[in-house]
Amino acid sequence: MTVTRFQDLPLADRSREWDGDAAESRVRDWAGAEDEPDAAYRNAHVWYDGDAPGNFGSYKLLIADVVDGKLKAVPRAVMAAGGVLQGARGGVNIPENEVDRVKSHLAKYYEKMGDTAPWER
């Protein structure tokens, strides 16, 4: 189990709509991860199960999409991940001892957006 290393991805426009399923497909294509996840695919997520890195289902909290051929963090995806982390839409199943690291990762993107993470308000 592990939190991905902070990538400091450029931000997409704040008004960009978020469609996680469509972003997932674009990220797989961009990363060349048709058969199994790779490092580029992993960088679009905040957390993954390090015991099963070859399974797409091991990757949680997708926050990025491919915009103009580049991987970018999408503000609405960061906010959605923050909401899910706090229990919205049923929450996300990650180990309790990794939640603070996930929050720290997401908080860096909130800061980059000029905002404060909801758990820090």
**Residue matched to tokens 């991905």:** 4
Token pair belonging to 62? 């997708």
Q: Any alpha helices (H) in 1-121, and if so which ranges?
A: 20-31, 39-42, 75-85, 99-112
Give the model's pLDDT for residue 47.
96
Nearest one of 84, 21, 90, 13 to 47, comparing CA atoms? 84
Give the model's pLDDT for residue 63.
98
Give the model's pLDDT for residue 110.
97
Task: Quote the number of domains for the chain.
Answer: 1
Beta bridge partners of 73: 11, 64
pTM, two decimal places: 0.93
Domain of residue 14: give its range. Answer: 2-120
pLDDT per residue rounded down to tens, the chain (121 residues)? 799 999 999 999 999 999 999 999 999 999 999 999 999 999 999 999 999 999 999 999 999 999 999 999 999 999 999 998 877 666 788 998 999 999 999 999 999 999 999 999 8
Give the model's pLDDT for residue 67.
97
Q: Which residues contact 49 (CB under 8 A, 6 or more apart)?
A: 1, 2, 55, 58, 59
